[in-house]
Amino acid sequence: MAFPRAYHNLTLLPDGQVLVTGGGDTTDAVGLDGAIGPAELWSPVTKSWTTLAAMQTPRLYHSIALLLPDGRVLVGGGGRFNGPAAATDQTSIEIFSPPYLFKGARPVITTAPATTSYGATMMVPTPDAARIESVALVKPGSVTHSFNADQRYVPLSFTASGTALTVHAPANANLAPPGYYMLFIVDTNGIPSVAKFVRIQ
């Protein structure tokens, strides 16, 4: 990364990239002077980081970042290190829009099955089937202390035909534990759809 960080949050995105937000240049949990504003984006293709826009508020200890179904990232909190309300507490949220949201029209998932089972196939109608490059499940997160134990990105194989995708669900629970996931399709320009929730059971 361009900025060494402590107390930052990493968020898996629908296109497989990783967004880092917040943190500080030391392990001072409430050292607002060392807070890092710019977000960064890691690409699994180029194995490199890109510096992005800066946040408006310092986000250090006890901050969170969660992927939303529309592909944006909710970033909030920070502070609560010294007990009751302190000047360093951040009681606000910000919404970060990754660069893929500024590349053009988004692909659309018309409908998706509410549930699926391991090894099954899912029919996912979309008027954009011909330009879809990837399909993935992203598990909704659960963040505490700059750590998201529930994050999981599961790429899915698929075929396109006409105005629908035939998507293959994960083979077993080792790849995707049972529960709810956000189903995203991503087009050839790297633009994700708004997610549909699918439950694997």
pLDDT digits (tens, 9 = 90+) for 59-71: 999 999 999 999 9
Tell me the whole-structure pTM to 2 decimals: 0.94
| pLDDT per residue as tens digits for the range 164-200 | 999 999 999 999 999 999 999 999 999 999 999 999 9
Are residues 193 and 107 part of one domain?
Answer: yes
Using alpha carbons only, what angle is made at residue 25 by residues 23 and 30, rounded to the nearest 5 degrees? 60
Please give the Cα distance from 34 to 129 (Å, whole number).
46
If asked whether residues 59 and 137 sit together in one domain, one would say: no
Q: Are residues 51 and 109 in the same domain?
A: no
Give φ, ψ of 196 to 5 degrees: -115, 140
**Domain span including residue 53:** 9-99
Rounded distance between C-alpha atoms, residue 113 and residue 136, angstroms: 14
Residue where a domain terminates, one of 78, 99, 120: 99
d(CA 121, CA 166): 6
- pLDDT for the residue 150: 86
22, 108: one domain: no
Closest by CA position to 36, among listed 72, 10, 73, 2: 2
On whether both 84 and 115 belong to a single domain, the answer is no
User: Do 43 and 121 have their domain in common?
Assistant: no
